[in-house]
Structure 1
């Protein structure tokens, strides 16, 4: 019996020793796993921190793209400098402590890629011969260019002096006391329809009312560029068919100033409201008012001439004076005195127009949907459109057979006089004669309200030149005239990260 008990005690002692060894080994393994977990957590934290810094640098730098001539963002350029400054503000100074910050073009002229590399020390991995780990993160940001509204040629609106430039519309701006329902949602202080009294406060009022682009390409840089306005004054007997109505609270002799200001290109081409370097500015008056020049009636008037640099010159239009008017005009650019040139004149964000003699089925260039907008959502907004005493149709399409625009479907909704209370998006009324975006409208249906079209552009969308234009086509039984404003925007942020 004693022998048996001794053997049991010896076996128990041996097992205890084995458990102790296994436990020790397990503790070592668990400590190693914990050590690796700490290091991997540290590495992940630094990767995420570096990624966020690269994203911030790319988003800040891409604001200043594209560069003239689609140049690379090299040392000394604004995108490069800003990207390095933002990376530094986030703890990554180029050339210090093994950090490299490399901005570069992200595949297109409107994209900036920022890559940040550096090393971080480890904690427990040093025991396995890994003292540092390399961190390499990059991010790409894109800035979508301004949509071209109305034209990409060297004139916008009618050009009565040049054959073949009959566009069936004038640009226009109403007075600041013209009821909003007269086709201009941004210039008037007040609301109201018809030519009756203004009522309430227009929440969409802005001053300046409109901005237009004179986009000078590299081929025109160094040329003598002249900015012209056709018949910029208010006169009722000219080709532009201006109107003047006495404000109910005024004598009928109230002054009005129409100011056209040209700003030089800056390094934030997507934001036309921040241009501050004035090239020239001219103010025009109403007929019968001191300062009115009858020689400017039905004539192209030069605002100024300058040596062109590549980029977008911005023209602002501002109206002051408590008046109820409609003033119509056109824009064009001359290059070295020639009307035939590569400068593109178009609306920025919106375009207000007057179609006094449009006929029964006119069609107009509305917005150019270039390939760069593939995968985006486009919203086209029409103010007070087709508010005539007739039934008809509206269609967004391209008259070219087989144009990609014609395959894009849309949804529609309306918004009230103040731009609020939107209805739910609904399907349009089916395919029209050219395209998929088609709507029946009845007499005065969209008087004094916004009509929105939402178009989702496929990710694989492609187009070439004039195929990229979306036209608006009126279909009415009688002769169509209209005073309306069109705007277009890409939903979401024009500056965004690219996955």
Structure 2
């Protein structure tokens, strides 16, 4: 090797030695940094675990509290805070829980923030880290039908309690429930066991939609701070055969009773007015129209009323029964004997519910008058009390059977019982409302008009973007040889992209008939309804709720979609029908 080559080699070896020294220095300098990052990774892993926990708590708190919106944000907030605390995140020096109304009044936004101490990050100047997560829930609870105020149906002998403008004293309908052996074709979709032939929801002569639990009305108490007591009353609670217009030919004449001003019994001193017969064109204000049908006239209908307390599941059949708020009323199918059995002079009082020759105190208490079911025991709870009404429990059955699930096939009631419900409110009556849930059986009876508008269902802004499913059964009996129409109309004060606020009309809906044939309904109107084709049939209208839907949710009288039923001019509006309405989709959901 030449001298020059050996020089180059010496320079290379020297360079390598120098590089090795530099690497050692770099490693020595970076080791603390690398160890710091490793330590920080431990803290970061903890942050991810804490973030997952915080998110779950925020989700749970939001879902628990939202069910009280929009009416009671304070209760919703308290519930959300309680759920967060029970999961280990009570507000403290290191935990904050912020609860507020979301973008819509039906939404609850919950933000949970937790400050954790870093095990190693503090060595790098980061002693703590705050982890925050937010959940937003939306609630679309059970929607009441039929009435925005404290009365459901016509109100003879009015209380004079204040009413909203869309809850008239006489809405020209009564609640109705038929005995289980009345044919379904007469208009009661769910309380009748049998079909005459051709009705929707039947298999041969069996009503496949029969529900032995009857119907449910919700008595809603919006704010217990505004109400001290609620007394529940029923008008004409017993079934008494009078004819649909109190026109049964066997009814006693008005002068068969004592003159007005003289007590007929302990309950009535105006019998000649209250008990008087009527006609189709002139039904009396006290006549709900109990009656039977040509093929079913043997056994009177027994009606059972059971009031249940609010329940967190909002399932009425899971709600506790209030023992002091349940009654049974036997039926009466002999109109000719009314002037006898309503006369308290016919002593001794009857000891049998079939005695036609003596005074019947229960009939006198209920016939064409208001009867108190009970005063709801205090302290009142905010939410829904559930009034269950059914006709498949025999009179005199043990009280445990009154609310028991299932059908008692030994009960054979064969009459249609019409009645009304109201609440006597101590405090602010506008804090109480009564509406049916899911299904609404009514007997519409307007002697003066061929067109009528009814409250259908209350839809809060939280339902924006969803769909109302509205099914009507056996509409059109009053149409005669003409055609009727059914139109769904928006709430009076509502706005939204498919709502014409000036006319309260809806631009378009869709409909599906009993043959599963679909139609587009311009103006959300279904016309062409005839009694010959639609008798005993179900039809469903799907009403889109706009994404930008708003309404006056702050009042129980706000946010009511309505139904306008029109019959041919000159046709009297008289029809027993069942309406069902619900809002599609999950009632409680996380939207963020």
Q: Compute the TM-score of the two structures, normalised by the length of structure 1.
A: 0.77
Matched, 1:496 2:592: no
Instruction: Report the alpha carbon displacement of residue 298 of structure 1 after superposing the two structures with TM.
Output: 2.6
Match of 1:44 in 2: 48
Matched, 1:438 2:438: no
Q: Structure 2 vs 1, CA of residues 26 and 385 (structure 1 numbering), >3 Å: closer, same or farther?
A: farther
Match of 1:406 in 2: 504
Q: Structure 2 vs 1, CA of residues 200 and 81 (structure 1 numbering), >3 Å: closer, same or farther?
A: farther
**Residues 350-404 of structure 1: CA distance to partner in whole angstroms, max 9, x if unpaired?**
3111224464322212123344544544333323334655433221115969647
Match of 1:84 in 2: 85
Match of 1:153 in 2: 149
- 8 Å contact 1:226–1:333 — kept in the other structure? yes
Matched, 1:378 2:465: no
Matched, 1:53 2:57: yes
Q: Structure 2 vs 1, CA of residues 199 and 43 (structure 1 numbering), >3 Å: closer, same or farther?
A: same
Match of 1:213 in 2: 218
Match of 2:236 in 1: 230
Query: What CA distance in whole angstroms lies between the structure 1 residues aligned with 2:432 and 2:373?
Result: 16
Query: What CA distance in whole angstroms lies between the structure 2 residues aligned with 1:498 and 1:260?
Result: 40
The equivalent position to 2:373 in structure 1, one of 292, 296, 303, is: 303
- 8 Å contact 1:213–1:313 — kept in the other structure? yes
Match of 2:176 in 1: 172
- 8 Å contact 1:219–1:342 — kept in the other structure? no
1:72-471 residue pairs with structure 2 within 5 A?
72=75, 81-85=82-86, 87=87, 92=88, 94=90, 100=95, 102=97, 104=99, 106=101, 114-122=110-118, 125-162=121-158, 165-191=169-195, 193=197, 199=204, 202-216=207-221, 217-218=223-224, 221-223=227-229, 225-237=231-243, 238=246, 239-245=287-293, 253-254=298-299, 256-264=301-309, 266=310, 268=312, 270-278=314-322, 279-288=324-333, 291=353, 293-295=362-364, 296-306=366-376, 309=380, 311=382, 312-320=384-392, 321-335=411-425, 343-357=432-446, 359-371=449-461, 373-386=463-476, 390-397=482-489, 403=501, 406=504, 408-414=506-512, 427-428=520-521, 430-431=522-523, 437-443=524-530, 444-445=533-534, 447-463=536-552, 468-471=559-562
Query: What CA distance in whole angstroms lies between the structure 2 residues aligned with 1:316 and 1:335?
Result: 20
- 8 Å contact 1:154–1:339 — kept in the other structure? no
Instruction: Report the alpha carbon displacement of residue 405 of structure 1 after superposing the two structures with TM.
Output: 8.3
Query: What CA distance in whole angstroms lies between the structure 2 residues aligned with 1:405 and 1:380?
Result: 21
**5+ residue gaps, structure 1:** 432-436
- 8 Å contact 1:242–1:327 — kept in the other structure? yes
Matched, 1:472 2:520: no
Query: What CA distance in whole angstroms lies between the structure 2 residues aligned with 1:243 and 1:27?
Result: 95
Q: Aligned-residue CA RMSD in angstroms?
A: 4.3
Instruction: Report the alpha carbon displacement of residue 204 of structure 1 after superposing the two structures with TM.
Output: 3.7
- 8 Å contact 2:216–2:437 — kept in the other structure? yes
Aligned length: 474
Q: Structure 2 vs 1, CA of residues 246 and 473 (structure 1 numbering), >3 Å: closer, same or farther?
A: closer
Instruction: Report the alpha carbon displacement of residue 23 of structure 1 after superposing the two structures with TM.
Output: 7.7
**Residues 62-100 of structure 1: CA distance to partner in whole angstroms, max 9, x if unpaired?**
45x3699764568xx766545533x2xxxx26489x764
- 8 Å contact 1:227–1:302 — kept in the other structure? yes
Instruction: Report the alpha carbon displacement of residue 201 of structure 1 after superposing the two structures with TM.
Output: 5.1
Rg (Cα) greater in structure? 2
SS in 2 for 1:347: strand
SS in 2 for 1:351: strand
**5+ residue gaps, structure 2:** 161-167, 247-286, 335-351, 354-359, 393-410, 494-499
**Higher deviation after alignment, 485-494 or 393-402:** 393-402
Q: Structure 2 vs 1, CA of residues 122 and 258 (structure 1 numbering), >3 Å: closer, same or farther?
A: same
Instruction: Report the alpha carbon displacement of residue 472 of structure 1 after superposing the two structures with TM.
Output: 0.9
Instruction: Report the alpha carbon displacement of residue 56 of structure 1 after superposing the two structures with TM.
Output: 1.5
- 8 Å contact 2:96–2:114 — kept in the other structure? no
Query: What CA distance in whole angstroms lies between the structure 1 residues aligned with 2:208 and 2:418?
Result: 24
Instruction: Report the alpha carbon displacement of residue 240 of structure 1 after superposing the two structures with TM.
Output: 2.6
SS in 1 for 2:7: helix
- 8 Å contact 2:64–2:79 — kept in the other structure? no
